[in-house]
């Protein structure tokens, strides 16, 4: 079949491009151009028939991804369905199913049927689950089989850790935390046991054949992303990034859409240089970042630490933000934590869009300001990112029967906006 990238390169504007452009309030030709230049991707497997088209790229609104999925110790399929519903209601743009364990095919197919946004996976998780976690039993063919089956099920994008090479492993083992990516650690162990090169790298042409057939977008996994500040921006991370740049070019040569995943824990002052380096090395491919988490001491509040980094990343050009929940580093997130993570990262994405001057971004803030100065609480709750939470908090602080021309923070007498109104009236009367 023709991929979105292939169509864009031939000057064809597809229905999906038109749909994405309408959502962005931009011309369809801009969407086509950005995809053709490799600066944007539109992950949409033709077999995921109920998914709406969403474009990812620096020219457009910064998008947010929510991870869900079972672990081998916690959660059930029904809980993951609940998390999907919560994520969609909270306004996520993408969802990734990171499930491991048993009965993964049935869960994934059900999630795809229920998911109205692009859905991604990490195929090595299912491949390893099929051999009961025994890395030494994992074969090239099994990995390709899983990729092929997931593509045929309708998966829109896949994280593939193809840039972590055998030569990189010694660099990573000298780190404080080593390899924190699940897929990266598994790939490193496989190469160490087998004494062979990364099978995804060796079989990359076969992988691209599968992705081209179903227009699956490749999300090049950062298997050597830093897991703590001490490991950020090191030789291992950048050695893998150089290979990812090579793989980006091979994807484009085959007509396959591609984006690149980015670092996890990065000190705030290194975020801009990380974004700039990725854009340069990977020829402008969209950057999909986890956080970055800007401090290692935020256990229980890692969604906040990560949202701080995500705001900077979005402002400097990251196109897709992978959320972090309050459960990060501690446990499998529950449904309420999925909600908290999405809200934190939607705020980060929007703040980044305002900083970059994305068309229409500031209009949202200005509408809220007008509602505030008018004490129009109903409008504020409608405009707010999480209106239900805002309304509940307002009502909890309000004294029954009190006027609505103030809130309980300052009280009626000390309300600065009421005072400003009086100042204006006096000035106008002079």
Tens digit of pLDDT at every position of the chain (430 positions): 689 999 999 999 999 999 999 999 999 999 999 999 999 999 999 999 999 999 999 999 999 999 999 999 887 899 999 999 999 999 999 999 999 999 999 999 999 999 999 999 999 999 999 999 999 999 999 999 999 999 999 999 999 999 999 999 999 999 999 999 999 999 999 999 999 999 999 999 999 999 999 999 999 999 999 999 999 999 999 999 999 999 999 999 999 999 999 999 999 999 999 999 999 999 999 999 999 999 999 999 999 999 999 999 999 999 999 999 999 999 999 999 999 999 999 999 999 999 999 999 999 999 999 999 999 999 999 999 999 999 999 999 888 877 888 888 998 899 999 999 999 999 998 7
The two structure tokens encoding residue 242: 């150089």
Of 140, 183, 139, 188, nearest to 168 by C-alpha is: 188
The answer for 96, left when phi > 0, alpha when psi is -120 to 50, beta otherwise, is beta
Q: According to DSSP H, which parts of 300-386 are helical?
A: 302-316, 335-356, 361-373, 377-383
* pTM as predicted: 0.96
Tokens of 114: 């229920």
Which domains are seen in the chain, by residue range? Answer: 61-356 (3.20.20.540), 362-429 (no CATH)
Q: Sort 89 into a burial class: Cβ within 10 Å, 0-12 / 13-18 / 19+.
A: exposed
Q: If you ran DSSP here, which 8-state letter would residue 76 be given?
A: -
């Amino acid at each position: 079949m023709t991929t979105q990238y292939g169509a864009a390169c031939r000057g064809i504007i597809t229905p999906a491009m038109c749909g994405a452009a309408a959502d962005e309030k931009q011309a369809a030709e801009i969407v086509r151009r950005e995809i053709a230049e490799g600066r944007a991707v539109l992950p949409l497997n033709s077999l995921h028939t109920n998914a709406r088209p969403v474009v990812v790229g620096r020219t457009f609104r910064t998008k947010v991804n929510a991870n869900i999925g079972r672990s081998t110790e916690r959660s059930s399929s029904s809980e993951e369905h609940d998390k999907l519903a919560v994520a969609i209601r909270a306004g996520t743009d993408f969802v990734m199913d990171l499930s491991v364990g048993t009965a993964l095919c049935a869960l994934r197919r059900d999630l795809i049927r229920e998911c109205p946004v692009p859905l991604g996976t990490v195929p090595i998780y299912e491949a390893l689950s099929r051999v009961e976690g025994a890395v030494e039993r994992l074969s090239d063919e099994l990995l390709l089989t899983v990729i092929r089956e997931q593509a045929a099920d309708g998966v829109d994008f896949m994280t593939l850790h193809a840039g972590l090479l055998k030569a990189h492993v010694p660099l990573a083992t000298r780190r404080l935390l080593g390899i924190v990516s699940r897929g990266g650690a598994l790939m490193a162990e496989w190469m160490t046991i087998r004494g062979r090169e990364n099978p995804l790298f060796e079989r990359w042409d076969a992988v691209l054949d599968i992705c081209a057939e179903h227009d699956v977008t490749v999300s090049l996994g950062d298997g050597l992303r830093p897991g703590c500040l001490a490991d950020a921006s090191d030789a291992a991370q950048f050695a893998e990034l150089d290979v990812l740049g090579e793989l980006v070019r091979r994807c484009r040569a085959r007509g396959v859409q591609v984006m690149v995943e980015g670092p996890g824990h990065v000190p705030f002052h290194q975020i801009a240089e990380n974004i700039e380096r990725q854009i340069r090395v990977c020829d402008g491919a969209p950057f999909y970042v986890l956080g970055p988490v800007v401090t290692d001491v935020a256990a229980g509040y890692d969604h906040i630490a990560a949202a701080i980094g995500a705001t900077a990343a979005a402002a400097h050009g990251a196109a897709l933000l992978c959320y972090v929940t309050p459960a990060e580093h501690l446990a499998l997130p529950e449904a309420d934590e999925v909600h908290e993570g999405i809200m934190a990262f939607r705020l980060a994405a929007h703040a980044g869009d305002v900083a970059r001057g994305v068309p229409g971004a500031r209009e949202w803030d200005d509408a809220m300001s007008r509602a505030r100065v008018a004490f129009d609480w109903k409008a504020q709750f409608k405009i707010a990112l999480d209106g239900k939470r805002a309304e509940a908090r307002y009502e909890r602080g309000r004294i029954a029967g009190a006027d609505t021309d103030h809130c309980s923070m300052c009280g009626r007498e000390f309300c600065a906006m009421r005072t400003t109104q009086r100042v204006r009236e006096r000035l106008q009367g002079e």
